[in-house]
Amino acid sequence: MTKRSHASASRSGAPGGASRVRRRALLGAVVLVVLVALAGLTAYLTRDGRSPSKDAAAHASSAAPTTSPSTASSPGTRPKSLPAPPTTRDPVAFGKAAAAALWSYDTRAYSRRELVSALRGWLTPESQYADRASVDAIIPSPVLWKEMAANRQFATATVHEGHFPDAFTKALKTDPGAITRTSVYAVTVSGKQSIAWKGSPAAGAESRVATLAVQCRPNHPCALAGVMPSVAP
């Protein structure tokens, strides 16, 4: 009943409104402008501008599992602290760590407000590129969080693979300088989310995949720009 997946939780807690849709559309335009201008792949930007986009689902690519410092491979492992962004200039490495943080939560260890504050700390300080709503939408709603907390529910994540989407890579090879203004990269990450709760320490696991917008300015650590409304393979 309250033991539902994090994906379901995120849909329940997703804020609506035209402003959020416009914000996510802007993020998509910023990250994928190279694709549109150089490869003509407007399909990546095809989505309903009047309603929030739904989380996209896809099967994870086969690759040797690698676990970031923010992940846990066992559903019985309790996260020791709130997720903190790594100091790296590698957009793929940062994207993998960010996905692990977004797919993990622990109602036993901290409040929803604390988790929201921690995840917002991953965002770029450049407000024109930071899509806060796309990150907030992944966190379970206050009502759902309360129900989950009553059952001491928590989720851990294992990241399997991260990469630049194929079309994004091809576009960058065509014109490497096209991204220099924003320094925002698309990174697709696949992995697994394991959920457990009181009385069920070994619950099932579900595959997860997401495309994140990661900003990596020269000589600065990477930061999260947002979560794309659809997955780019």
Q: Is 144 helix (H, G, I), strand (E, B) or coil?
A: helix
Strand partners, 214: 185, 224
What pLDDT digit, counting tens, does each position of 152-183 carry?
Answer: 999 999 999 999 998 788 878 888 787 888 89
The share of the chain scoring above pLDDT 70, in percent, equals 64
Write down the pLDDT at residue 170.
Answer: 84
Count Cα neighbours of 86 within 13 Å in the Cβ-side half-sphere: 19
| CA 196/CA 74 separation, integer angstroms | 10
Crossing angle for the helix pair 18-34 and 166-174, to the nearest 10 degrees: 50
Q: Is 120 helix (H, G, I), strand (E, B) or coil?
A: helix
Burial class (CB in 10 A: 0-12, 13-18, 19+), 173: exposed
Residue whose C-alpha is closest to residue 215's, from 193, 182, 167? 182
Write down the pLDDT at residue 10.
Answer: 42
Cα torsion angle, 7, 13, 18, 24, sign: negative
Write down the pLDDT at residue 77.
Answer: 44
- Strands in 184-196's sheet, in edge-to-edge order, are 105-106, 154-163, 184-196, 205-215, 223-227
Gyration radius from the chain CA atoms = 17
Tokens linked to 187: 């990174």
Contact call for residues 210 and 54 (beta carbons, < 8 A): no
Instruction: Name residue, tokens 């014109």.
Output: 175
Between 214 and 56, residue with greater pLDDT: 214
- Please give the single-letter amino acid code of residue 91: P
Kindly state the average pLDDT of the residues 46-69: 31
Write down the pLDDT at residue 21.
Answer: 59
Write down the pLDDT at residue 27.
Answer: 59
Tokens linked to 167: 């079309």
The share of the chain scoring above pLDDT 90, in percent, equals 52
Residue whose C-alpha is closest to residue 162's, from 100, 231, 228, 93? 93
Cα torsion angle, 182, 223, 105, 202, sign: positive
What pLDDT digit, counting tens, does each position of 31-42 carry?
Answer: 554 444 333 333
Residue 205 has pLDDT above 90, yes or no: no
Contact call for residues 225 and 30 (beta carbons, < 8 A): yes
| Range with lowest mean pLDDT among 33-42, 73-82, 108-117, 196-205 | 33-42
- Please give the single-letter amino acid code of residue 203: A
